[in-house]
Amino acid sequence: MSDTRPRLARDGGTPVRSKMLPYARQSIDKDDVARVVAALESEWLTTGPEIGQFEREIAEVAGVGDAVAVSSGTAGLHTVMNAIGLVPGDEVIVPATTFVATANAVVHAGATPAFADVEPDTLLVDAKSVRARMSDRTKAIVAVDFAGQPCDYQSLRALAEERGLLLVADAAHSLGATSGHGPAAALPDAAVFSFHPVKHVTTAEGGAVATSNPSIASYARRFRNHGLDRDHARRSAEGSWRYSMVDLGLNYRLSDIQCALGRSQLRHLPRWLARRREIAQRYDEVLSGELPARPLAVRSGVEHAYHLYVIRLDLERLSEDRDAVFAALRAEGIGVNVHYAPAHLHPYYRREFGTSEGLCPVAETAERDLLSLPMFSAMSNQDVDDVVAALFKVLGALE
């Protein structure tokens, strides 16, 4: 009996798409461009009024008292780690399933990351593993809202309060996510956003620290500006040249040009979140059938922001491994990606901190079968249908 399944593009067949569909992409319209041009034509290119206005709008979205714009999400994480006052010997718990920036910020602040494992169904940090990693040296817990889903902040808050620890959210994936009756970013002591082009809104590069803790916000404003007590705008308003360096800081400022773009982008956030959730629902429906793959679970009581749509392949039903599926889907014109290789298994952490396989077995097992499907608000229904068609074509041929 002949095989009637379509020939895979990697084997010489016709691809589903002739042009690659990326896993993520920014959306820029004429209004965005006009706002940037207006900022360029203004008196202030940096430390000007767009920054404070953008910060107030971010704080409102986050449901917190204050927000401090910085040059990247990584800069925001580094800023918060320094605000904690870490010293060599201190430890900060971070999940193994995350981008390396989460752990790197701890190292740059002079402390040691203690890697916690994740829940197998959500890949969010596992509170039981966090408890197991806690010691007298632990100063903070960093939770990562992986893919855009808020963590179990109720359980994490209980652990933090038990030891007097700071609870920080790496919220790079979760702008606009909710948990319970309000913004998820209001639940930790500080949340850090990213405005990289693949995120919900972009400032080209940029980030923000969102917090209701006045001391964290005040420190962050100094730290992003070399540790100075006055920026150029304040000195200009006071008619003075004087300033004092009260902390050791860095130049992590975000420009007025970038903040103007961010403010323009924020207008679209509710609509863009709704579109991401529509796409996720379509993927959910497809993956509830007989395909050898399944989506990550969604916790009850949350509104997922869907920065990523992550699936786990059922490798027992497939004749080839994840990397082969990855390559086959990309040959079909579908720009799948992988998020993430466990942070503790990168060569730097193995070499400098002695981490190895077996430390976080759930994260390590999950990495072997993870794929991120294309997910961005500008995807058309045809784009989504192409992803679905490629999944059926590739997984069907390899099952």
- Closest by CA to 352, choosing from 81, 133, 104, is 104
How many Å apart are CA 365 and CA 346, to the nearest integer? 15
Domain 9-23+269-398: what homologous superfamily?
A: Aspartate Aminotransferase, domain 1 (3.90.1150.10)
Q: Are 181 and 154 in contact (CB under 8 A)?
A: no
DSSP 3-state of 13: coil
DSSP 3-state of 65: coil
What is the CATH number that goes with domain 30-265?
A: 3.40.640.10
State percent of the chain over pLDDT 70: 99
- Closest by CA to 332, choosing from 9, 23, 22, 7, is 9
DSSP at 297? P
Distances, alpha carbon 158 to alpha carbons 120, 212, 299, in Å = 22, 18, 18
Number of Cβ within 10 Å of residue 319's Cβ equals: 9
Query: Within the chain, which residue ranges are assigned CATH 3.90.1150.10?
Result: 9-23+269-398
Query: Within the chain, which residue ranges are assigned CATH 3.40.640.10?
Result: 30-265
Beta strand residue intervals within the chain, DSSP E = 66-70, 91-95, 112-116, 138-144, 166-170, 178-179, 182-183, 190-194, 207-211, 293-295, 302-303, 309-313, 370-373
- The answer to whether the bond into 153 is cis (omega within 30° of 0) is no
Given this model, what pLDDT does residue 181 score?
Answer: 82
Q: What is the mean pLDDT of residues 37-47?
A: 97
Tell me the pLDDT tens digit for each residue of 252-264.
999 999 999 999 9
Given this model, what pLDDT does residue 1 score?
Answer: 39
Which tokens is 323 given?
């990397």
Given this model, what pLDDT does residue 3 score?
Answer: 65
How many Å apart are CA 360 and CA 119, to the nearest integer? 11
Tell me the pLDDT tens digit for each residue of 263-299.
999 999 999 999 999 999 999 999 999 999 999 999 9
Tell me the pLDDT tens digit for each residue of 182-197.
999 999 999 999 999 9
**127-130 long-range contacts, CB within 8 A, separation 24+:** 127/152, 127/155, 127/156, 127/159, 129/360, 130/93, 130/156, 130/159
Q: What is the mean pLDDT of residues 161-174?
A: 97
Tell me the pLDDT tens digit for each residue of 130-147.
999 999 999 999 999 999
Q: Are 295 and 283 in contact (CB under 8 A)?
A: yes
Tell me the pLDDT tens digit for each residue of 96-123.
999 999 999 999 999 999 999 999 999 9
How many Å apart are CA 133 and CA 155, to the nearest integer? 15
Does an H or E element contain 323, and which? helix 322-331
DSSP at 85? T
Catalytic residues: 199
- Closest by CA to 255, choosing from 109, 93, 49, is 49
State the DSSP string of 357-389: TTSSHHHHHHHTTEEEE---TT--HHHHHHHHH
The overall longest dimension of the chain from CA atoms, in Å, is 87
DSSP at 10? G
User: Which residues touch 68 (CB under 8 Å, ≥6 apart)?
Assistant: 55, 76, 79, 208, 209, 211, 217, 220, 221, 224
Q: Are 220 and 68 in contact (CB under 8 A)?
A: yes
Backbone dihedral angles phi then psi of residue 153, each to the nearest 5 degrees: -70, -20
Q: What is the mean pLDDT of residues 310-334?
A: 98
DSSP 3-state of 199: coil
Which tokens is 379 given?
């995807």
Given this model, what pLDDT does residue 234 score?
Answer: 78
Would the CA dihedral through 381, 24, 148, 32 be positive or negative? Answer: negative
